[in-house]
């Protein structure tokens, strides 16, 4: 099967899909795209179903050569994008001819771009998903969670064609510059925190630690006073843990499935995408949101993208 040949792999390029669902009770994290919004738009531009495998490109610096005629779409981080040296629009779909070379430069804002192909990239699923999870050694092209390497081939058999290019309407394209205000559903152990500590979490700005990764976004700031916790429980993506050092951790797609740190609440599922685009040392702020409002927005998001 032909596909896209990797000439430059970038710092971290991973095959992802909708995630490895139904295995967290056995300790397997779901993985999947960190920025669900950008990934969903990349697939929608090509009429691919929700969760069709695509490539998550961290920071950029990727070069791919097409071995077949197909259509591609790129959404997410703002980075230079060119096809055989001709500039292409991001948040758009465009045709690619066999032999053409696609180049993605380093991101100017945002952290992750999503490259989709008509009908999706092909790889053998592991526990029902092709999502690459490096820590557990699952998924990806080799089935062991490995990132792309020079010389790899991304198989694709997409034969669907389109009559013209298309782009995401500008109101739906996020601006990754500036300090984001992220919404939090308070809960879990929030009632165990002193009121001034809970209010302090929302009142101050936090800085994203350079030690953040696909497992968790670590925050740096004035430490919170942490209530005692005597047991562990199941945790999911978006959970805000507060370890003994008082520096919160927001769990991301490759999160562990059990945790013993107190939980302050959960990041709004749609704001997890904005967090995924924040660079190290970026300042972020938080504001409360109700469960009902978050659920209503998430239902609308899923309806629009056909999940």
Nearest one of 85, 271, 86, 244 to 184, comparing CA atoms: 271
Structure tokens belonging to residue 98: 């066999």
Residue 1 confidence (pLDDT): 64
Residue 158 confidence (pLDDT): 62
Nearest one of 144, 141, 145 to 133, comparing CA atoms: 145
Contacts of 85 (CB under 8 A, 6+ apart): 103
Nearest one of 65, 71, 74, 70 to 102, comparing CA atoms: 65
Residue 162 confidence (pLDDT): 87
Does 181-305 carry CATH code 2.40.100.10?
Answer: yes
**From the first residue on, what is the mean pLDDT of each consecutive set of 10 residues in the chain (307 residues)?**
91 96 91 96 96 96 94 97 95 95 96 96 94 93 94 82 90 92 94 92 96 95 88 90 95 92 95 96 96 96 91
- Intra-chain end-to-end CA distance of the chain, in Å: 29
Provide φ and ψ at 229, rounded to 5°: -140, 135
Contacts of 256 (CB under 8 A, 6+ apart): 27, 29, 215, 235
Sorted by where each begins, the domain ranges of the chain are 3-172, 181-305
Residue 230 confidence (pLDDT): 67
Residue 228 confidence (pLDDT): 82
Distance from C-alpha of 156 to C-alpha of 294, rounded to nearest angstrom: 36
Exposure string (b/e) for 151-173, b if CB count within 10 Å is 16 or more? ebbbbbebeeeeeeebbbeeeeb
Distance from C-alpha of 302 to C-alpha of 173, rounded to nearest angstrom: 17
Predicted TM-score (pTM) of the model is 0.95
């Amino acid at each position: 099967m032909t596909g896209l040949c990797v000439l430059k792999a970038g710092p971290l390029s991973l095959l992802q899909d909708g995630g490895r669902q139904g295995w967290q009770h056995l300790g397997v994290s779901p993985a999947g795209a960190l920025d669900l919004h950008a990934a969903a738009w990349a697939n929608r531009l090509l009429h691919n179903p929700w969760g069709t495998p695509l490539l998550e490109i961290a920071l950029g610096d990727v070069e791919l050569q097409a071995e077949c005629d197909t259509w591609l779409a790129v959404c997410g981080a703002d980075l230079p994008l060119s096809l055989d040296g001709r500039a292409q629009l991001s948040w758009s779909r465009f045709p690619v001819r066999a032999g053409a070379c696609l180049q993605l430069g380093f991101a100017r804002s945002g952290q992750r771009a999503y490259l989709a192909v008509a009908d999706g990239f092909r790889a053998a699923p592991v526990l029902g998903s092709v999502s690459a999870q490096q820590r557990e050694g699952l998924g990806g092209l080799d089935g062991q969670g490995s990132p792309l390497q020079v010389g790899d081939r991304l198989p694709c058999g997409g034969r669907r064609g389109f009559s013209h290019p298309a782009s995401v309407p500008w109101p739906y394209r996020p601006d990754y510059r500036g300090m984001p205000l992220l919404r939090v559903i308070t809960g879990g152990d929030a009632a165990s925190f002193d009121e001034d500590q809970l209010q302090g979490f929302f009142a101050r700005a936090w800085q994203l630690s350079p030690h953040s990764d696909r497992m968790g976004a670590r925050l740096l700031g004035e430490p919170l006073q942490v209530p005692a916790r005597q047991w562990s429980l199941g945790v999911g993506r978006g959970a805000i843990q507060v370890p003994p050092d008082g520096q919160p951790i927001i769990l991301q797609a490759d999160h562990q499935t059990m945790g013993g740190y107190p939980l302050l609440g959960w990041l709004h599922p749609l704001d997890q995408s904005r967090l995924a685009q924040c660079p190290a040392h970026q300042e972020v702020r938080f504001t409360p949101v109700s469960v009902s409002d978050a659920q209503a927005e998430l239902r609308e998001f899923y309806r629009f993208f056909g999940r």
